[in-house]
Copies of this chain bind each other. A is one copy, B any other.
Amino acid sequence: MPRESQIISQIRARAARSGRVVVPIGDDAAVVEHDGATDLLACCDLMVEGVHFRSEWSSPSLIGRKALAVTLSDIAAMGGVARFAMASIALPQDTSPGFISDLIEGLFRLADAYGVSIIGGDTSSSPGPLFIDTSVIGECARGRAVTRRGARAGDRVFVTGSLGGSSLGLLLLESGSRLEDIPDDKPADPLCRARREALTKHLAPEPLLHAGRALGESGIATSMIDISDGLSTDLRHILDESECGAVIHASQIPVAGCVHSLRGGDLRIDPLRMAIDSGEEYELVFTARPADRERLAEISRSLGVRVTEIGEVVERKGLYLEIEGSIKAVEPSGYEHKV
């Protein structure tokens, strides 16, 4: 089987761009003309048991939640508002009614939290693993969708939240940690807290819809993407599409607290590498003009979302990392979903 990226390239090449398609296949979501005032956004995301998740790692409710969260995150990355969603679910024959109810409930609860109406879906039995495909329809002001193409030399690179937690969560899951096994009675125990933070980041990512929308509507983000495959891979998508490069500074990368807390244990962790390569973070990385720093700080304050400046866009193509004054090229993590 060819790599996912090769198949996607093939589909992109084949996709004819009709008159109403403003942004075709290849960005976080497609953008199509809607009416005079708004554009329509559409995207879908597939989660396959044994590829993207394992049932025994999580509750059915969190599986359903994450299946929708990752697609909502694509709307966030376009600076849009998510309006409607659909979910197609193929269930192994031995799936219990309780599992199904919990999965659906997890998905609906997240939809409710963001004012998204579930308007369609399909179900089937599966002779193999559990499959969940969610599609989301969103909106943004006409011409205001934030694509991957708008970064310009001189812009600064920003990232929301902190990075590395999801990758650490995956590592913990692989080594047998489970969210439900972390004792509730030690809220102050820093190791328990760090494990909980990492597992939650991986299993229950929050789609940054409010932040994405604010960054889009304000016109501050010149380009944006969500971190599904790792900062080193996703920022490169922006740079490739915008035909420029970037230098990011090691000392400015916001490494997740849990990564620092758990670095000393059995897990052999390089915190910086983990933060740069960690996939499924669903944080937003975006570019903005230096003149907009103050407006950006206001948005960050008013939404309570941490935003960190981590580098600058340069003419020279490629992604470079500055560590203690020396600069080296960053290889993409090559993150492809597998568990």
Chain B contacts of A135 at CB under 8 A? 44, 86, 88, 120, 135
Complex: how many Å from CA A138 to CA B89? 22
Q: Does A252 contact B (CB under 8 A)?
A: no
A81-124 vs B, Cβ < 8 Å mask (1 yes, 0 no): 00110101111111111001100110010001001011111111
A35 in contact with B34 given A95-B1, A122-B44 (CB within 8 Å): yes
Q: Does A334 contact B (CB under 8 A)?
A: no
Chain B contacts of A121 at CB under 8 A? 8, 11, 25, 44
Q: Does A295 contact B (CB under 8 A)?
A: no
A219-232 vs B, Cβ < 8 Å mask (1 yes, 0 no): 00000000000000
Taking the nearest CB of chain B, how far is it from the CB of A238, in angstroms?
A: 19
Q: Does A257 contact B (CB under 8 A)?
A: no
Q: Does A15 contact B (CB under 8 A)?
A: yes
Binds B, one of A48-56, A189-197, A263-271, A319-327: A48-56
Chain B contacts of A235 at CB under 8 A? none
Complex: how many Å from CA A11 to CA B86? 11
Please list the 3 inter-chain residue pairs (A to B) with the smallest Cβ-Cβ separation, ordered nearest first: A128-B128, A30-B119, A133-B133
Chain B contacts of A101 at CB under 8 A? 10
Q: Does A258 contact B (CB under 8 A)?
A: no
Binds B, one of A16-24, A149-157, A168-176, A205-213: A16-24
Complex: how many Å from CA A86 to CA B32? 13
